[in-house]
C-alpha cells in the first residue's frame, strides 16, 4: 500500500490544495502537510518495502502490468527525490512571491513529485515508461510558467525533444518485452530469454542503443541535449533546481532499469552499444563543460554544467562495472545536492538583486555571505575537492575507467574527466572569488551596475541582502548533504556494491 500512497498523495494533495480558494499563508500550511506526509510515506516505502515485494495496480496483458516495488537503486533515487523536492518547495514559498499563478506552479510541482516517486518505485519497464511520461508532461508547465514568448518556446522545445526521446525509449521497451522470459519484472542481470534472442542479437542491441539515446534525452546526453540549456534558465529557480537536480535523472533511472535489470550488462559488454554509449557520454562531458565555461548568464551556465555532470553518471554506467555503477550513483547524490544549491543560489541573485549574469555578482559576498558560502560549498563538490561528494564519486569513476581494460577508453576517460573538472573550476570558482574578493575597479573602467542599482535602488556598504530562512535554509541543508556524500561515500558505495553484486 505504501508503494501506491507515496506517489498518489502528492499528486492528489497538490491538485486539491492548489484548486482551493485560500489565502497564501493558509495554502502554504496545507502544502507543508502534503509535503511532509509524502516524505514520510516515501521514506517508509524505502525502509519497509523490502526487496522483491511488488504491488500490481493494472494488468494490461500477461507480462504487461503497472507494478511497483523497491530495491537498492530505487532507495537511492527515492531519497534524492524527497530531499530535493522538500528543499525546493520550501524555498519556493518565498521565491514564488515574485511570480504570478503561484498555485498553478505548486500544483504541477507536486504532480511531478508523485511521478518521480513512481519512477523510483517502478517494478518493470512499462511502469518506468508510464511514470517517465507523467514526469515529462507535468514539468512542461513549470518551464513555460511565465508564459512569455521565450518561456513558451523553451517549453515546446522541451516537450518535442522529450517526445522524440520517449518514442525511442518506447521502441526499446517493446523489443525487450518481445524477447522477455516468463516474467518481465526487474531482475539483477536481466530477464531476456536467450533462446528467443538467438539470431537477433544485433537487432536487439541496436534497439537498446536507440533506447539509451532516447532515455538519455531527459539526461541531456548528446545529441539530444538541445532542450536543456533552453528550458532550465527560463523556468523559475526552484523549478530549475528540480529539473537539473532530479527530474533530468529520470532518464538515468530508465537507462539503469533497461540495461542492468532488463537486458543485462553482459549482453552489451564489449559490443558497439557500450563503445558508442561511452563515446557519446564522454563527448557530452567535454562539450557541456566547454559551453558552461563560455557562458555568462548564470542559470544558463549552470544548465550547460548539468549537461556535463549528468553525463559523468552516464559514463560510469557505461563501463558496466561495480566501481563505475557505484561512482555513478554517488554522483547522482552529490549532483542533486550541489546543483540544487547552485540553482537555488542563482534564484536568490534574481530575487534579491535582479541579477542574471555572473559579471553582476562582483562584491556581493559581504552582503550575501550565507548564500555565497553555500554556493562555494556546492562548487567545491561539483569540481571534486575532498572531502565533498564530488571527489568520492569522481574517484570511483576514474578507477572504473582505468580498470575497465577497454582499449583507449581507460586513458581517454580519466583525461576528459580531469579536463572537465578544471573547466568546472574555471566557471564556478571565479564567481566565488569575485564575490568575496572583488578588488578595485581600474580608474578607466566603469563598474557594472547590478539590476537592483539600475532600477534606482540604493545599496549601503553594510546592507545585508540575505533572503529569508525559507530560502537560505534549504541551501544550507543541501550543502551539508553534498559534504555528507563525501564523508560517507565509501560506506554508501560498499553497501551498493554488496546489494547489487548480481548486476555484473
Start-to-end CA span in the chain (Å) = 32
The pLDDT > 70 percentage for the chain reads 95
Q: 154-175 burial, b if ≥16 CB within 10 A, otherwise e?
A: bbbbbbebbeebbebbbebbeb
454 in the Ramachandran plot: left (φ > 0), alpha (ψ -120 to 50) or beta?
A: alpha
pLDDT at 304: 94
Query: Where are the chain's structural domains?
Result: 269-504
Is residue 87 pLDDT above 60, yes or no? yes
Structure confidence by residue, pLDDT tens digits, 113-162: 999 999 999 999 999 999 999 999 999 999 998 888 989 999 999 999 99
Q: Per mean pLDDT, which range of 9-23, 27-41, 351-365, 448-462 is the poorest? A: 448-462
DSSP letter for 352, please.
Answer: I
Q: Are 216 and 288 in contact (CB under 8 A)?
A: no
Please provide the DSSP assignment of 6-33 as one string. HHHHHHHHHHHHHHS---HHHHHHHHHH
State the average pLDDT over residues 37-60: 84
Helix 2-19 / helix 24-48 crossing angle, nearest 10 deg: 170
- Cα torsion 275, 232, 297, 156 to 10°: value is 100
Q: What is the pLDDT of residue 446?
A: 47
Global pTM value: 0.93
Q: What is the mean pLDDT of residues 334-360?
A: 94
- The torsion angles phi and psi of 297, rounded to 5 degrees, stand at -80, 125
Lookup result for grid cell 563501463 = 319
Residues 221/258/486/80 CA torsion (nearest 10 deg): 90
Could you tell me the pLDDT band of residue 499, with boundaries at 50, 70 and 90?
confident
For 362, phi then psi, to 5°, come to -60, 125
Q: How far apart are CA 104 and CA 138, in angstroms?
A: 11
Summarised one tens digit per residue, pLDDT across range 264-284 is 999 999 999 999 999 999 999
Contact 357, 298 (CB under 8 A): yes
Q: What percent of the chain has pLDDT over 90?
A: 76
Q: What does the DSSP assignment read for 299-326?
A: HHHHHHHHHHHHHHHHHHHHTTSHHHHH
503 DSSP assignment: G
Return d(Cα 200, Cα 204) in angstroms, integer. 6
> How far apart are the C-alpha atoms of 139 and 102, rounded to whole Å?
15
Q: Would you state the pLDDT for residue 179?
A: 92
Number of residues in the chain:
504
Amino acid at each position: 500500500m505504501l508503494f501506491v500512497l507515496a506517489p498518489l498523495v502528492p499528486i492528489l494533495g497538490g491538485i486539491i490544495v492548489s484548486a482551493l480558494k485560500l489565502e497564501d499563508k493558509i495554502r502554504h500550511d496545507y502544502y507543508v502537510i502534503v509535503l511532509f506526509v509524502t516524505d514520510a510515506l516515501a521514506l517508509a516505502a524505502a525502509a519497509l518495502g523490502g526487496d522483491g515485494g511488488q504491488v500490481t495496480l493494472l494488468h494490461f496483458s500477461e507480462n504487461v502490468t503497472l507494478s511497483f516495488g523497491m530495491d537498492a537503486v530505487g532507495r537511492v533515487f527515492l531519497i534524492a527525490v524527497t530531499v530535493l523536492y522538500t528543499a525546493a518547495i520550501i524555498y519556493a514559498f518565498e521565491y514564488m512571491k515574485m511570480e504570478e499563478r503561484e498555485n498553478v506552479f505548486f500544483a504541477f510541482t507536486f504532480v511531478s513529485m508523485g511521478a518521480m516517486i513512481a519512477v523510483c518505485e517502478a517494478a518493470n519497464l512499462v511502469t518506468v515508461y508510464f511514470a517517465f511520461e507523467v514526469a515529462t508532461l507535468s514539468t512542461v508547465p513549470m518551464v513555460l510558467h511565465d508564459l512569455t514568448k521565450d518561456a513558451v518556446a523553451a517549453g515546446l522545445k522541451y516537450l518535442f525533444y522529450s517526445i522524440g526521446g520517449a518514442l525511442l525509449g518506447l521502441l526499446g521497451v517493446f523489443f525487450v518485452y518481445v524477447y522477455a522470459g516468463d516474467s518481465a519484472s526487474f531482475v539483477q542481470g536481466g530477464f531476456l530469454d536467450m533462446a528467443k534472442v538467438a539470431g537477433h542479437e544485433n537487432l536487439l542491441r541496436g534497439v537498446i542503443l536507440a533506447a539509451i539515446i532516447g532515455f538519455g534525452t531527459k539526461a541531456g546526453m548528446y545529441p539530444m541535449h538541445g532542450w536543456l540549456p533552453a528550458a532550465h534558465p527560463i523556468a523559475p529557480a526552484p523549478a530549475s533546481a528540480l529539473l537539473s537536480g532530479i527530474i533530468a535523472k529520470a532518464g538515468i533511472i530508465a537507462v539503469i532499469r533497461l540495461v542492468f535489470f532488463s537486458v543485462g550488462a553482459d549482453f552489451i559488454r564489449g559490443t558497439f552499444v557500450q563503445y558508442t554509449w561511452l563515446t557519446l557520454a564522454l563527448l557530452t562531458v567535454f562539450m557541456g563543460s566547454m559551453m558552461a565555461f563560455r557562458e555568462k548568464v548564470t542559470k544558463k551556465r549552470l544548465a550547460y554544467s548539468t549537461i556535463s555532470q549528468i553525463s559523468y553518471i552516464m559514463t560510469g554506467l557505461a563501463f558496466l562495472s561495480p566501481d563505475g555503477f557505484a561512482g555513478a550513483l554517488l554522483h547522482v547524490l552529490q549532483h542533486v545536492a550541489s546543483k540544487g544549491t547552485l540553482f537555488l543560489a542563482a534564484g536568490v541573485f534574481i530575487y534579491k538583486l535582479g541579477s542574471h549574469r555572473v559579471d553582476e555578482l562582483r562584491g556581493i559576498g559581504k552582503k550575501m555571505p550565507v548564500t555565497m558560502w553555500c554556493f562555494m560549498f556546492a562548487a567545491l563538490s561539483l569540481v571534486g575537492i575532498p572531502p565533498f561528494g564530488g571527489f568520492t564519486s569522481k574517484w570511483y569513476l576514474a578507477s572504473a575507467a582505468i580498470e575497465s581494460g577497454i582499449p583507449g577508453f581507460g586513458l581517454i576517460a580519466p583525461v576528459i574527466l580531469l579536463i572537465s573538472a578544471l573547466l568546472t573550476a574555471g566557471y564556478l570558482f571565479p564567481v566565488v572569488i569575485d564575490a568575496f574578493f572583488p578588488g578595485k575597479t581600474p580608474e578607466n573602467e566603469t563598474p557594472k551596475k547590478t539590476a537592483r542599482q539600475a532600477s534606482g535602488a540604493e545599496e549601503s556598504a553594510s546592507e545585508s541582502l540575505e533572503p529569508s530562512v525559507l530560502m537560505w535554509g534549504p541551501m544550507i541543508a543541501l550543502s551539508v548533504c553534498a559534504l555528507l556524500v563525501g564523508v560517507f561515500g565509501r560506506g554508501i558505495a560498499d553497501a551498493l556494491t554488496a546489494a547489487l553484486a548480481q548486476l555484473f
